[in-house]
Amino acid sequence: MTSLTFIGRVLSRTLTSGWLAGLGLLACAGSAPAASIDLTAPLLFVSNRSGNAQIHVMRADGSGDHALTSTPQENTEPAWSPDGRRVAFTSYRDGNAEIYVMNADGSQVRRLTQQAQSDNAPAWTPDGRIVFRSMRNRWANFYVMDAEGGNLRQLTDDHLDKGLPILSPDGRWIAFVAHSEKGTAEIHVMPSGGGASRDLTGVLSKNPKSFPSWSPDSQRLAYVEGKDLTLNIKAVNLDGSQPVSITSNVYTNAYPAWSPDGKRIAFVSSREGTRTEMARGDIYVMNADGSGQVNLTKHPDDDNNPAWSADGRSIYFVSLRDGNSQIYSVPADGGPSRRLTRSEGFDLMILPLAARNDPN
């Protein structure tokens, strides 16, 4: 399995099952450690090295790799709080997906939701509340609560099958992929305080859309559009104006990620492979208008899932070049890649602290 396929499955995981369940991984026992760790420029990520999905943290150089969770059930979808002191996450430790929160060192784990149906995909607002997705009323809808689990409020009430809630950096908007009963997939935007969502991309084409990514100023969205066997990156303003095609070729171009200053976009492209190697990707970077596209990794094995460092100088990514998915970094202006994790499992879902919470 290529990492494009594997990570694609991870990012499109279902609401009701663990995202590594399909791999037949064995469970491991244990309780969450509460060790002291230097969190200077930390990265959260998910690894199944101990048998199933657990949340890890490490420094930007790969040192201090430390498991924050260790339970027989999966723990995934970590999200930094705005001040970096806590982590919200999804855990299956009580039988189905529920939202939990813990300190950044893995201590004081607390369950925030208790439902027979799945709650998952937590995302923090700038003022410290948690938006998440829930199946508690049979349909995937968004809710918000405070960091202690109180003041729960439903934000949506419709029959759209919703993807992950992607909050804008300024906290005012939620973008998500909306799957209709007719089989369409469009990028929708709604106020983070609740209200009707607006189809941002359906008027542009009827091709399926995915992977919405906010610009740091919260005024523009990049996304991926599929047509036939190809994927290309598009962008549009929040109000629907100035739609453009950023990539335009017959290969796979996906996972757009804006640089902290908003001037560049990292992405994955399969264009260096043959036409039949659609799942093999390299990490590219380009200007926000699509010009200056440069292959940063140029490796025969698959590189995927880019995430910018806080200072915009490096791009973290997941690679299969060592036989299983491990985390690497590469200079954003070009240079040798550096391996950061060395485990026998799959390491992925990279989430740098400052890059997510300091968009300026």
Query: Quick one: what percent of the chain has pLDDT higher than 70?
Result: 85
- Please calculate the CA angle 43-175-252 and round it to the nearest 5 degrees: 70
How sure is the predictor about 160, in pLDDT bands with cuts at 50, 70 and 90? Answer: confident
Burial of 161 (0-12, 13-18, 19+ CB in 10 A): middle
Q: What is the per-residue pLDDT for 169?
A: 96
3-357: CATH topology: Neuraminidase (2.120.10)
Q: What is the per-residue pLDDT for 277?
A: 52
Tell me the whole-structure pTM to 2 decimals.
0.87
Question: In the predicted model, is pLDDT for residue 167 greater than 80?
Answer: yes
Residue-wise DSSP of 101-136 = EEETTS-S-EE----SS-EEEEEE-TTS-EEEEE-T
Q: Give the whole-angstrom CA distance, residue 220 versus residue 105.
A: 34
Question: In the predicted model, is pLDDT for residue 255 greater than 70?
Answer: yes
The average pLDDT across 18-37 equals 30
How sure is the predictor about 38, in pLDDT bands with cuts at 50, 70 and 90? Answer: very low
Q: What is the per-residue pLDDT for 272?
A: 84
Q: What is the per-residue pLDDT for 279?
A: 59
Q: What would the pLDDT profile of 208-243 be if each residue is shown by its tens digit?
A: 999 999 999 999 999 999 999 899 999 999 999 999
Helix (H, G, I), strand (E, B) or coil at 162: strand
Question: In the predicted model, is pLDDT for residue 352 greater than 90?
Answer: yes
How sure is the predictor about 278, in pLDDT bands with cuts at 50, 70 and 90? Answer: low
Q: What would the pLDDT profile of 285-302 be if each residue is shown by its tens digit?
A: 999 999 999 999 999 899
The average pLDDT across 339-345 equals 94
Q: What is the per-residue pLDDT for 35?
A: 38
Domain limits of the chain? 3-357
